[in-house]
Structure 1
Amino acid sequence: MSKRGWLLFLAMGVIWGIPYAMIRVAVRDFDPVVVAFGRTFLGALVLLPIALYTKGLLPALRRWRWVLLYTLVEVTGPWLLIGHAETKLTSSTVGLLIAAVPLVTILIVTRLGHERLDRRRVIGLLVGFGGVAALVGLDIDMSDLGALAAIGVSVLGYAVGAILIGRKLGDLPPIGVAAASLIFAAVIYAPFTLWRMPAHYPAAPTWSVVGLGLVCTALAFVVFFALIAEVGPSRATVFTYINPAVALLIGVTLLREPLSAGMAIGFPLVILGSILGTVRAKPEVKEPAPA
């Protein structure tokens, strides 16, 4: 891999590893729907001119039904549900649970008959879900089951969204799909946001929302597409195994979240299981999800 490829690779590992901490900070003062709207609105504001300049928006809008479905399962639902979950769970726990997306993706594609579930993948799934079980069993309080369910739905949505990209939207300009989906999401969130607008805008949560929109959404997509162009789609998705480590490191060091036994046991198992379970997967089903 070239020096530029390594820089882009490391940048993506950090950029999509930090949203969980930012969301955690933002939802302490803002309603999760306000956070989700701010992120999608700012992201769309930046990506829309790029999509128009590169003529990528119109092709995406021509297939608006599939783009809308992708938006609902990949952006609108997960970003709102993750925000709600982080009012109860630590950002570290959420980041590690989201790392199960590749495991759920491979389960779906093998169930649909698109790929074969060989011995290595079976072992990977067992190891990975064993890690999730360790996280849930050791770290999640029974009063947080609603938050856990929100993360479960988000993981499923991310997995379905990855498949939609590969099967229905893979031939479209990526920047056009990203811009269109953010616009759709912002429009969906807007009426609910009007009823939840905060009376005050403290600095920390406000800057967290700005960071989510400009860095973890707009910049993330631009860097990701540059990484794909530099190293190819298959190698580009490997950074998804770094994201949970970044989320864990930031949560423990900056937000003073506890490093629990569930994290210590579950984290390596989830990552190892994801690697074993997806190592032979086709590139399009390993498309990572934004946080």
Structure 2
Amino acid sequence: MYCSVFFPLALAAWRAKVLTRDQIRHLPHFAIMSVLATTFYYYGFVAGTARLPSSVAGLLSGSIPIFTFICAFLFLKQDRPTVQMAVGVVLGFVGIALSARPWEGTDGVALVGIFWMLAGALSLGVSFVYAQGFLSSLKVPPLALATWQTGFALLTLLILTDFDGMYAITTNTRALLGACVGLGMLGTGGAFFCYYYIIEKLGSVKAAGATYIAPVVAVLIGVAVGEDINSTVILSLALILGSVILIQRGKRSTTSTRRTSASG
């Protein structure tokens, strides 16, 4: 699948002329981002969801903004999150909990699965802060960043992945196209491009808050295919949307920032 992500991105980046020799000196940053936001994050979520009920896995995946908030508070002195952002992060996690309902049928939940889900969420949460702290100031176009990151991830996965039995997907044309075009090009490729763009424009905490939107989209798709929607789902969606609004509107004002800097 990563071939279908990297090569279209590389072609688009080459045609847009956003890849330059000067970017080679930033390869260590690109390599670190490929691990944090791609290979380890994906492995953690795959290993976790394979061992957990979907409701519990969905709940734990909602912890990404919480880890981002903590890391931003600890390491981003110039753009620390506000109290309003903290309220938004917690509110969104409550909404995820209501929608996932992990208390239903969670007997025998594997601790190893919980560990891997939290490890993956932490990895992606750290990546938001790392990207803002080390990559946003470089002014490298988002398309170029996405290309470098997926390129390194592709090399890593080619070395570490066991491909035994994976070729079975080639026997089903629809499944192959869905994985390559749907999940690869449109899903992962488009997501990485948006990832760097929103970090550059919004900052790490606000960008991580966008991960709360996924459950909303999932519910809307469920409605479209005829699934029933109850009051609990509506309440959880309201909490999630409210959290996104709080996070996006929770930027520290320039005046208060200057006063804080002056008093310090």
* Equivalent of 2:218 in 242, 247, 270: 247
Indicate how the Cα distance of structure 1 residues 194 and 271 shifts in structure 2: closer, same or farther if over 3 A, else same. same
Q: Secondary structure at the match of 1:280?
A: coil
The aligned amino acid for 1:120 is Q
Indicate how the Cα distance of structure 1 residues 63 and 119 shifts in structure 2: closer, same or farther if over 3 A, else same. closer
2:71 is matched with which residue?
108
The aligned amino acid for 2:73 is T
Q: Is the Cα–Cα contact under 8 Å of residues 100 and 274 in structure 1 kept in the other structure?
A: no
1:161 has 2:127 as partner: yes
In the aligned structure 2, how far is the partner of 1:192 from the partner of 1:82? 17
In the aligned structure 2, how far is the partner of 1:262 from the partner of 1:59? 52
Indicate how the Cα distance of structure 1 residues 176 and 113 shifts in structure 2: closer, same or farther if over 3 A, else same. closer
1:138 has 2:108 as partner: no
Structure having the higher Rg: 2
Segments of structure 2 that go 5 or more residues without pairing to the other structure are 253-264
Q: Is the Cα–Cα contact under 8 Å of residues 36 and 126 in structure 2 kept in the other structure?
A: yes
The higher-RCO structure (CA 8 Å, 6+ apart) is 1
* Equivalent of 2:45 in 82, 95, 107: 82
The aligned amino acid for 1:42 is S
Instruction: Tell me the alpha carbon deviations over residues 85-126 of structure 1, each in whole angstroms, 9 at most, x when there is no partner.
Output: 343557676556434423321222112352455442343344
In the aligned structure 1, how far is the partner of 2:195 from the partner of 2:59? 24
Superposition TM-score, scaled by structure 1 size: 0.65
Alignment of 1:29-178 (within 5 A): 38=1, 40-53=2-15, 54-56=17-19, 58-88=21-51, 94=57, 97-112=60-75, 114=77, 115-116=79-80, 118-134=82-98, 135=100, 137-139=102-104, 141=106, 142-170=108-136, 171-178=139-146
2:201 is matched with which residue?
233
Q: Is the Cα–Cα contact under 8 Å of residues 81 and 154 in structure 1 kept in the other structure?
A: yes
Superposition TM-score, scaled by structure 2 size: 0.70
In the aligned structure 1, how far is the partner of 2:111 from the partner of 2:230? 18
Indicate how the Cα distance of structure 1 residues 242 and 87 shifts in structure 2: closer, same or farther if over 3 A, else same. same
Indicate how the Cα distance of structure 1 residues 121 and 213 shifts in structure 2: closer, same or farther if over 3 A, else same. closer
Q: Is the Cα–Cα contact under 8 Å of residues 60 and 177 in structure 1 kept in the other structure?
A: no
Residue identity over aligned pairs, in percent, reads 20
In the aligned structure 2, how far is the partner of 1:50 from the partner of 1:247? 29
